[in-house]
Amino acid sequence: MEDTGRNITRKLKENPACIKAGIAAAAAVLFSACLYISDNTGSVMTNKQGEKIIKRAQNNEDMVRKMKVRVGDTGEETTIEIPVRGREYDASEIQEEFAHAGEELEQLILGQNRSLDEVSSDLDLITEIPGKGIQVSWELDKYDVMDIRGNLREDVLTDEGTPVRLTAVLSYGEERAVHEFYANVLPPILEEEEQMIRAIQEEVARSDEKTKTEDYLILPERIDGKRVQWKYGTETRAFAVMVLGLGVSCMLFVSASQRKKEEEKKAAYQMKIDYPQIINKFNLYIRAGMTLRRAWFCIAQDYEKKIEGKDREKEKRKAYEEMIRSMRQIQGGIPEGEAYEDYGARCGISLYRKFGTMLSQNLRKGSKGLTDLLGREAEDAFEERKNLAKKLGEEAGTKLVIPLFLMLIIVFAIVIVPAFFSIRI
């Protein structure tokens, strides 16, 4: 036993993460146990007469308690919800609460001000005393200095201060009480830069009033004895247009590059699919006694007849188009072997490069054994096409995983979010 204990202690020292995980798990279990006990045993109490009671909220807030009830000894246990109104004040308590609320109001409405003797920013004229259930409405004697919400009207304030009488009407049910006090309202305290800007704006406003019949506005040359220099502000529209244009250009470039890659990828897939068919046709013509040139021309001419009269851009297939190009080269006098090798290079896929090299070599060495080579190549091409079909199927299945995963997340959200908000702590 002692050895086992030593081994456990040694392993824990070597893995401090295990200790942290154990502490976290123990804390979670302990907190959950306390919360369970609080939720399931703390609500129902007994008074001195032995009656079952539910404690009301002391902050005058209504609540709903889930209770388990069983009627009789053999009845089934049922869960019901019982609405419990917040505790209301009696007649003597409400007057005392009104007195306290009046004193609290003078502090609660200060906002960013230090006291009511120096009010230089907006007051917060609240409409309810927090946690008391007491409603507050306001009356002012000078609405030109402050509005009903406590916002100051800075244009009428003076440095000497303006006294404003605030009347708070406190109400709780049918009970009413009035509390009055004064606030000395001063202009906002501005920083040096803000004061300078305001002085400039006032001077410009006076100049505008003087020159309102002229074709121009005279800008002040001095403010508080200091020389003022003026110049037009920098317009940023040109930069915005330039950034927007560069962004659009980058998007177009990336889009064109991506579109080109997609087209090349699509053409590669298409050529891989067409390869077994081309090999089989070629093998069939060679076995029928045709020469390489004749077999090549037959495949290319059959393709030309097939797409004749159709939209060539939509119907074209690159492997056959390159065969037609090689046919034109041979007809123009280019050596046949060179045309076949050039065909494989233009296609850009190892299968076609191998095909072009095989034809070129057999043209130089003779066509002996060509049918066997083509037969084996046809079998390999068919296997390659089956593997390609499997790969395309797997890619399609992978693309379907994303919308399925998104649907799973939505289902989890629909189920978990309401359950989370229904938890009462």
The amino acid occupying position 105 is L
Please check the confidence at residue 43 and state whether its pLDDT lies above 50.
Answer: no
Decide: helix, strand or coil at residue 212. Answer: coil
DSSP 8-class letter at 369 = T
Bridge-based pairing state of the strands 63-69 and 78-84: antiparallel
Average pLDDT over residues 152-167: 82
Report the distance separating Cα 17 and Cα 133, nearest Å.
49
Please check the confidence at residue 346 and state whether its pLDDT lies above 80.
Answer: yes
For residue 182 the two structure tokens come to: 């004064």
What pLDDT score does 60 carry?
Answer: 60
Cβ neighbours, 10 Å, residue 330: 17
The amino acid occupying position 135 is Q
Which has more confidence, 275 or 59? 275
Most confident of 14-28, 115-129, 374-388: 115-129
DSSP 8-class letter at 220 = P
CB-based burial, 164-197: b 16+ in 10 Å, e otherwise? bebebebebeeeebebeeebebbbeeeeeeeeee
What pLDDT score does 145 carry?
Answer: 82
Cβ neighbours, 10 Å, residue 150: 19
Q: What is the pTM of this model?
A: 0.39
For residue 201 the two structure tokens come to: 């704006």
* pLDDT (tens digit per residue) in 372-396: 777 777 777 777 767 767 776 777 6
